[in-house]
Amino acid sequence: MSACAKARGITEAERIFREILPPDLVGKPQSSALLLARARFLARHAVWADAAGDFTRFIQFKPDDAWAWHCLAAVLVQEGQLDAYREHCRKSVERFGNTTDPVTAERIAKDCLILPESGADLDSIAKMAHTASSSTNNPSNAAWFQLVQALADYRQGHFTNALDWSDQVLTKVGAISERDVAAYMVQAMACQRLNQHDKARAALATGKELAGTKLPRIEGGDLGRYWLDWVTAQALLREAKALIEGQPPPVKEASK
């Protein structure tokens, strides 16, 4: 589909949403399902500011919906609303930090690990990551759980562990490109911190090539079903490039 055709499709969808979700209905609880549908559509098509507004309103109606919290974190990162992102992460951990559901734990923990500083308590985030990675009842989600554990270990300064976990994720390389790029970035950054500079640059190069050839382009008009993970992959790619190509000060590996 051409860019023009995609743009027409988005415009038509927005028109339909305006008809079925007029402004006077947006602020009412009965609109929540339509509001969530519109928010997801807007985010998938990179209309970030409007998506943020819809996800925020939906959460006001459904404050225990972890999926909406998960979505809003990614949108705030992509929008560059860093203060709002950090406050959102702090509140996310307050609300979901003691969850025993590994999927919820993985999503909220990953939200708080996308950027180096999320404003949330790192020990609480690490606990949630462990809840996910120690689960044995969700084989279809195993690689996602391994990725969040790799990220948590990296943020804690446990670089060897982060490398080991990212290696496990990459045993499934090719299944989901967004996840692959994120894992390669964790691998690259962990190697860099461990002074394995050649391996770091190799992992970075592989991830950059994947991002350039396999991930949807924002100008294409549709980021696909994994738009959330596209945001994570892009954020980690930017961080890894700055770390490896920008030569920041060295950081010692934390004791285990």
DSSP result, the chain: --HHHHHHHHHHHHHHHHHHS-HHHHTSGGGHHHHHHHHHHHHHTT-HHHHHHHHHHHHHH-TT-HHHHHHHHHHHHHHT-HHHHHHHHHHHHHHHTT---HHHHHHHHHHTTSSS--SS-HHHHHHHHHHHHT--S-GGGHHHHHHHHHHHHHHHT-HHHHHHHHHHHGGGTTS-HHHHHHHHHHHHHHHHHTT-HHHHHHHHHHHHHHHHHHSPPGGGS---TTHHHHHHHHHHHHHHHHHHHH-PPP-PPPP-
Q: Taking the domains of the chain in order of start, what are their residue ranges?
A: 1-63, 64-246
Flag the least confident range among 12-21, 134-143, 154-163, 215-224.
12-21
pLDDT, residue 248, reads: 55
101-136: per-residue pLDDT in tens? Answer: 999 999 999 999 999 989 999 999 999 999 999 999
pTM value? 0.89
pLDDT, residue 17, reads: 62
**CATH class belonging to 64-246:** mainly alpha
pLDDT at 18 over 80: no
Mean pLDDT, residues 154-169 taken together: 98
pLDDT, residue 219, reads: 85
53-102: per-residue pLDDT in tens? Answer: 999 999 999 999 999 999 999 999 999 999 999 999 999 999 999 999 99
pLDDT at 3 over 50: no
